[in-house]
Amino acid sequence: MGNNMQDKVVLVTGATNGIGRETARALAAQGATIVGVGRNPQKCTDAAAQITRMTGNSKVEFLVADLSVQAQVRQVAQTFKQKYNRLDVLINNAGGYFAKREETADGLEMTWALNHLNYFLLTDLLLDVIKASTPARIVNVSSGAHTGAKRINFDDVEFKHGYSGWTVYSHSKLANVMFAYELARRLEGTQVTANALHPGFVATGFGHNNGSLMRTGMNVVQKIAAKKPEQGAATSVYLASSPEVEGVTGKYFSDSKGTKSSAVSYDVDAQQRLWELSEQMVHARVQA
């Protein structure tokens, strides 16, 4: 087991399966203390045991939370701060795809709440401990699907009208990239970096919550064309741990290489407007 991440504390959301679990496992293998977040208590217990068994690293624990619910995001941050006084890497990974429009317990559209507002709020709540742990890193798992969004739909970010699962998913992934860029700009000079990434098309449970027909279809496509989860996690692990990206911030990565995101993602005015809207939707004034 390498020790590149020895004495580092890493929080990974959506870490009970797929990319998140493989990211947590790989960083645990490098010696990091891992704090995973998952929604299902049994899956959290199982993932912690599996990661420890596979890596020999016992510094692995999970917090249980539904990150689509803002009160539970706040509880995760509070519990983390009670146990840890540093956070070297925050990996915002939890997310989902919803073919039909759903609302959270807060009455917000599910995709926007889980895929974007969760990233924004959790980062805000942990930013003080991240800043106290410099040099530190924030990693947003986005997707190449963000290129399918023409812009942030400020008139209707929750898609109360004209909902389409893929359109809404792409829209949330664009928000992930733009949030990373605006965050990086606001954190200039702090030694905290913020980057976004495309993990590739990966064989995970993505989309399996949308009924048996879609689950079957996704299984077939994934068997033919998808990366394995450990391959999909590679760029997240790279951005979390590699000396090559020390100090690199406000960038978008794919296959562990910097690349261009969509043209609209670089709209600074839209990035700032997204930040302000996000503050309103999580009822917080973010001091980044």
Query: Annotated catalytic, 169?
Result: yes
Tally helices (H) and strands (E) across the chain: 10, 8
Q: What is the enclosing helix (H) or strand (E) of 122?
A: helix 118-131
Catalytic residue among 97, 119, 169, 252: 169
Cα 61 to Cα 84: distance, rounded to the nearest angstrom: 12
DSSP 179-210: HHHHHHHHTTTTTEEEEEEE--SB-SSTTTTS
β-pairing, 257-259 with 252-254? antiparallel
Neighbouring residues of 235: CB distance < 8 A, sequence distance ≥ 6? 197, 198, 199, 200, 253, 254, 255, 256
Kindly list the catalytic residues: 169
